[in-house]
Chain A
Amino acid sequence: MATTRAPAVLVEGLHKRYGDKRAVDGLDLRVEHGEIVAVLGPNGAGKTTTVETLEGFRRADSGHVRVLGEDPARAGRAWRSRLGVVLQDNHDLAEVTVGEVVRHVAGFYPAPRDPDQVIDAVGLREKVSTRTRALSGGQRRRLDVALGVVGDPELLFLDEPTTGFDPQARHDFWDLVESVRAQGTTILLTTHYLEEAERLADRVVVVAHGHVVAEGAPADLGGRGARRARVRWTVDGVRHEEATDTPTALVARLAAQVGRPDGEVPGLQVLRPTLEDVYLGLIGGTGTDAHEEAAR
C-alpha cells in the first residue's frame, strides 16, 4: 500500500519474554492513519504486552517499533501529547468529580479538546459533578475514554475496553468509539470479543501465542477456504458433507440427483462458518510446535 505518510504504528519482529514465557514472539503489526485496527486474541496471547510496548510502558527484547514515527522507549512529552491511552484496569480517581478530572487532564496537553464537549460526547453530562467513586463500570470506562481523547490524540489505544460490560453497555460503548473515529482518530483496539472486532474494526489482526496468525477485514478473515460453505444431506440414512464455494449450484445438483419426487433433499443443511468458527479455527490451529519452528 502506497502512502505518503509513515504508518501510525509499525511493528516488525517484536519479541518479549518474561522468564521462560515468550509473551510476544515475532509479532508484526501495521496501522495506517485513520484506520481502526483490532488486535484480537485469547487471554495471554500477548495483546496487552504488545500494546504496552507501543505505549512506552515496556521495552521490547528485540524488534523494530515505531509509533507516530518515534521509538516509544525513547519518545518524550511531545510524542505522548499526540497519543491517547485507555488502559486495561484502572480503579483510580476516587474523590474527584468527572468534570474536575477531565479539565485537569486536558491541562496536560498543548491543544486539548474542550472538556465540556468531550464530557457530552461520552455521555457523562449528567455525571459531571459526580465523584468518580460513584460511577458504574460502564460510566468509568466512558470517563477513561474521555481522558484518552481530551488531548485530541492522533492515535488512541483502547486495551480491552468493554471487558465485563453487559450487552447494552457494550453497544453504547461501540457507538462512542465510532464517534471518536468519525473525528479522524486512528484507533488500535485490543479485545477478546470477536463481535467487538467485527463491529468496530476496518482490519482485524488475530494474535495467538505471541504472534499474528491471521489478518484482514473482518469479512475476509481466514481467507476464502475458511469461509467455504458446508452442505450436508442424507442418502439412505448416510450423511454426506461437502465444502463448496458454490453452494447454490451444489444444492440444485443434489435436488436433481437425490431429491425426492417433491424436490426436497433429505436432511439438507447449508452451513456458513461464522466469524467465530473461523476465529476458533485460527487460534486453535496454531500448534505450539509450529510456532516454535517459526521462531527459530
Chain B
Amino acid sequence: MTTTTGTTDPRTAPGARPTAPALPGLARLAWSRTTYEVVGFFRERDAVVFVFAYPILMLAIFAAAFGSDSEVLPGSGVYFPQYFLPGMVATGVMLSSFQNLAISIAAERDDGTLKRLRSTPLPPTAYFLGKTGQVLLTAGVQTALLLVVAAVVFDVPLPTDAGRWWTFAWVFALGTAAGAVCGVAYSSVPRSGRSASPVVIPVVLVLQFVSGVFFRFDELPTWMQQLASVFPLKWVAQGMRSVFLPDEARALEPAGTWQHGATAAVLAAWFVAALVVGVRTFRWRRRDDG
C-alpha cells in the first residue's frame, strides 16, 4: 500500500498514501451507529424496563384512580383510560426522545465516549443519525406496547380510519424529532454525567403536570395552559387526543378545535430552534476538560 512507483516523487504529496481508499459512506455509518446504540440501550435492563413500563404504569394508575368505567363527560362514551391514553403516548415520546438523549449524551460526554468518537473519522452526522435511529425505534416499540395494553387491558377503542393514523404518524414523528433535538441541546446543561438525571427529570415532570398529561387539560388554570402552550409536550398530547378521542371531545379543548396547524407549527419551531442552539453549543468534551 505504501509502495510508490519510480515516477512518483513522494515530496509532491508529503505523507499521503498513493491510493487512499474511500472513507465509509454516511448511510452505512449511520446504520452501524443505530444498531450499536440500540444494542447498548437494550442491555441497560433497568433503564429499558423503566422507559417501557412507565407510560403503561401511569395509564394503569390514573385509570384506577379515576375509575376505568366512569365517563369523562357524562354521555360522551369516553372513559378515563381512553382520555389518558393520548397523554401517556405523548409522555412516552418525551421520555424516549428528550429525557433519554439529554441524560445519555450528558453521560457520554462525561465518560469520554464523545471524545473518543471525535478522535475517529466517524462524521458527527452519523453519531446523531444513530441517536435518531435509536430514539425512533425505542419510541416506536414503547408506543406500540402502550397501545396494545390500552386496547387489550383497558378496552380503549383504537382508531380504524387512515386519516387518524396519518395524524398519529406526523404528530409522533414531529414530536419525537423535536424532543430529540431538544434533548441534544439540553444535554449541555448538566455539569456532569451524575448530575444529568436530577437536572433533566424535574423538567420532564413539571412539563407533564402543566401539559395536561395527568389531568384534564381544560381544567387546569388558564395561566398554566398558556405556560404549557409554549412547550412541545402540550401540543403532542393535544395532537394525540385528536387521534384517540372522538371528534366530540374537541369541546374539552380550550380552543374548541384540535389546532393541527398550530401543533405542527409549534413542534417545527422547537425542532428548528433546538437544532440551531444544539449545533452551536454542542461540546465533545467535558466542561472541565479545557
Contacts and interface: CB of A to CB of B under 8 A. Distances in A.
Contact of A78 (B20, B36, B112, B290): B20
Contacts of B28: 107
Contacts of A49: 290
B219 interface: no
B214 to A, nearest CB: 33
Given A80-B119, A108-B120, A18 B112 contact: no
A265 interface: no
A108 B290 contact: no
B199 interface: no
> Which of B28, B113, B116, B120 is packed against the most chain A CB atoms within 10 Å?
B120
Interface stretch (A82-90, A218-226, A227-235): A82-90
A87 B119 contact: yes
Interface in A120-178: 131, 147, 151, 154
A280 interface: no
29 contacts: A4-B10, A5-B11, A6-B14, A8-B15, A49-B290, A57-B284, A57-B285, A68-B15, A77-B23, A80-B121, A81-B121, A85-B119, A87-B115, A90-B112, A90-B115, A92-B112, A92-B116, A95-B39, A95-B44, A96-B39, A100-B36, A104-B32, A107-B29, A108-B122, A109-B121, A110-B21, A110-B121, A151-B120, A154-B15
Contact of A77 (B15, B32, B113, B121): B121
Contacts of B123: 77
A83 B119 contact: yes
A91 B32 CA distance: 22
> Which of B10, B118, B121 is packed against the most chain A CB atoms within 10 Å?
B121
Given A90-B116, A107-B32, A58 B23 contact: no
Given A78-B121, A92-B116, A108 B24 contact: yes
Given A58-B290, A110-B24, A92 B108 contact: yes
A108 B29 contact: yes
Pick the 6 closest A-B CB pairs, nearest first. A90-B112, A6-B14, A85-B119, A95-B43, A92-B113, A110-B21
Contacts of B118: 57
Q: Secondary structure at chain B's binding surface: helix, strand, loop or mixed?
A: loop
A49 B28 CA distance: 34
Contacts of B36: 96, 100, 104
Contacts, number: 98
By size class, the interface of chain B is 35 or more
B193 to A, nearest CB: 10
Given A90-B111, A96-B43, 13 more contacts: A5-B10, A5-B11, A6-B14, A6-B15, A57-B290, A78-B20, A78-B23, A80-B121, A87-B119, A90-B115, A95-B44, A107-B24, A107-B32
A87 B285 CA distance: 12
A112 B130 CA distance: 21
Contacts of B24: 107-110
Interface in B108-136: 108, 111-113, 115-116, 118-123
A57 B115 contact: yes
A44 interface: no
Interface in A1-42: 4-6, 8, 18, 33
A100 B39 contact: yes
Interface in B1-38: 1, 10-11, 14-17, 20-24, 28-29, 32, 36
A93 interface: yes
Nearest to B9: A4
Given A57-B118, A68-B15, A69-B16, A81 B10 contact: no
A111 interface: yes
A18 B290 CA distance: 8
A90 B109 CA distance: 10
A233 to B, nearest CB: 53
A57 B15 CA distance: 21
A95 B40 contact: yes
A52 interface: yes
B270 to A, nearest CB: 30
B21 A93 contact: no
Interface in B150-203: none
A50 B40 CA distance: 33
A78 B111 CA distance: 26
A89 B284 CA distance: 15
Contacts of B122: 108
A55 B116 CA distance: 11
Contact of B23 (A8, A68, A81): A81
> Which of B16, B21, B23, B28 is packed against the most chain A CB atoms within 10 Å?
B23
A96 B43 CA distance: 8
Contacts of A80: 119-121
Interface string B201-224: 000000000000000000000000
Interface in A53-87: 55-58, 68-69, 77-78, 80-83, 85, 87
A93 B108 CA distance: 9
Nearest to A18: B290
Contacts of A6: 14-15
Contacts of A56: 119
A105 interface: yes
Contacts of B29: 107-108
Contact of A5 (B14, B40, B108, B120): B14
Given A108-B120, A109-B121, A69 B115 contact: no
